[in-house]
Amino acid sequence: MPEHFSKQFDQELEHVRGRVLEMGGLVEEQIKDALNGLANADLPLLDKVVSLDHKVNMLEVQLDEECQHIIARRQPTAGDMRMVFTVIKTITDLERIGDEAEKIARMSRNIYQSGRVQVPRFTEIKHAAELALRMLRKSLDAFARLDAGLAAQVVREDMQVDEEYRAIIRQLITFMMEDPRTISTSIDIITIAKAIERIGDHAKNMSEYVVFMVKGKDIRHLSLADAERAALDNDN
Amino acid sequence: MPEHFSKQFDQELEHVRGRVLEMGGLVEEQIKDALNGLANADLPLLDKVVSLDHKVNMLEVQLDEECQHIIARRQPTAGDMRMVFTVIKTITDLERIGDEAEKIARMSRNIYQSGRVQVPRFTEIKHAAELALRMLRKSLDAFARLDAGLAAQVVREDMQVDEEYRAIIRQLITFMMEDPRTISTSIDIITIAKAIERIGDHAKNMSEYVVFMVKGKDIRHLSLADAERAALDNDN
């Protein structure tokens, strides 16, 4: 392949990587806005989250198209192919994180529009959301810096978010039993907690793809110990 | 490309398509077993569902690898590329449907192991699950037969599953309010209903990819009317 071809290819890959990070940044904002909207009963902010979801969707469609063009026009090397493959998988997860942010915003709107003024277990929800957001942030950084070690941290952190989720559900069950009038709001909060738990899952998926991109090893469905070993292995 | 090369390529694609359908069949069985386990308090069957999830996961890993090899070894045409791309996206959804089946099995086990003998709203759960299973079956048929029209039906049917899900939640809220002792079981049932609703979402995603594969049009995020128009368009 002539050098200028290969250079143009590198530029195309660089462009796609930049767009993935842009999509990631947008999705992060969506989660933050949804949670701030929930914290402050800020209905216009919640509306904004719902109305901006189409932007995330559009980026997904455009990036999938770019990836197909790259594969069709160039014959990617194994390493480049792993990168394109990682992008194709990653943007599916990013789009679904966007959907979860929208769901949080819709449920929060629900809560305040029914005239309720208090959100039970808000502190715990906020804490779980911070963990999930940190996982997303780290996954995007790991993707940007090709850092398999950072990605491995995210895989481990997912257990924490799952534990927080289970704790919130247990607390809400007690809360509902003590005061059945809170059942309806509590169900909305469970949906919000579930959305946060899923954001953690998607961030974990993204980090698993980063390890694959950098190390060429598929760590999905491995035990945590094996996954960490593969991610931190220096031989590869 | 010499003819025998192209023939071998066709065979590889055919093989991958067959494996996707095999994975789909396995996932269908997992859902059916999970629901039969729930219906009949059949703990060994529920255990089987949980223990077989690794088979679905393995198929995902193997198929992703095959797809990458196909792209690396051959220079797929635009049409073939759409097929490989569709497979890459589809198996992610199939794997996650497998996870939801496992979740249904785990929650069902939970319900019976806590000594509860009755499942509230079981009729409605069964009905929603049948709708979701039909969507999955149709998506796989549409994939096998390259039938964009059939795929479009699935996109429409997803609204029905969503409506069933919302109805189940409303009924369970009333049920819990009337008898707070049922809260804990009801939360497990909500998780099961949510898993069924997500199976519908994933089947819908799969059908959207089929339309893309057959028609070359990305109908994700379009209105239902536009999506159906694109799927049924004969000009393409």
pLDDT in tens, A88-100: 999 999 999 999 9
The answer to whether B176 contacts A176, with C-beta atoms less than 8 Å apart, is yes
| First-last CA distance in chain A | 26
User: Looking at the partner chain, which of A61, A68, A82 has a beta carbon nearest the beta carbon of B85?
Assistant: A68
What's the pLDDT tens digit per position in B36-70? 999 999 999 999 999 999 999 999 999 999 998 88
Mean pLDDT across A155-168:
96
Look at B75 and B144; give whichever has higher pLDDT.
Answer: B144
Residue written as tokens 């959301």?
A129
User: pLDDT class for A236, splitting at 50, 70, 90?
Assistant: very low
d(CA B13, CA B4): 14
Element of type H or E holding B172: helix B148-178
The yes/no answer to whether this complex scores an ipTM above 0.95 is no
Percent of chain B with pLDDT over 90: 83
DSSP letter, residue B222? S
Q: How far is A78 from chain B (nearest CA, A)?
A: 7
B55 neighbors B99 (Cβ within 8 angstroms):
no
d(CA B31, CA A163): 26
Chain B environment of A82 (Cβ under 8 Å): 68
User: pLDDT class for B115, splitting at 50, 70, 90?
Assistant: confident
Burial class (CB in 10 A: 0-12, 13-18, 19+), A51: exposed
B207 neighbors B151 (Cβ within 8 angstroms):
yes
User: pLDDT class for B235, splitting at 50, 70, 90?
Assistant: low
Chain B environment of A176 (Cβ under 8 Å): 176, 180, 183
Look at A120 and B84; give whichever has higher pLDDT.
Answer: B84
Domains, chain A, in order of start with CATH, read 3-232 (1.20.58.220)
Q: Give the C-alpha distances (Å, rounded to integers) separating A88 from A226, B30, B87, B199.
A: 25, 27, 12, 21
User: Looking at the partner chain, which of B54, B89, B221 has a beta carbon nearest the beta carbon of A54?
Assistant: B221
What's the pLDDT tens digit per position in A169-194? 999 999 999 999 999 999 999 999 99
Task: Flag the least confident range among A64-73, B87-96, B141-150, B215-224.
Answer: A64-73
Mean pLDDT across B118-127:
88
Backbone CA torsion sign across A174, A175, A179, A184: negative
Closest to B199 (Cα-Cα) out of B133, B155, B146, B143: B133
B91 neighbors B63 (Cβ within 8 angstroms):
yes
Chosen from B66, B71, B171, B186 to mutate, greatest number of chain A CBs within 10 A: B71
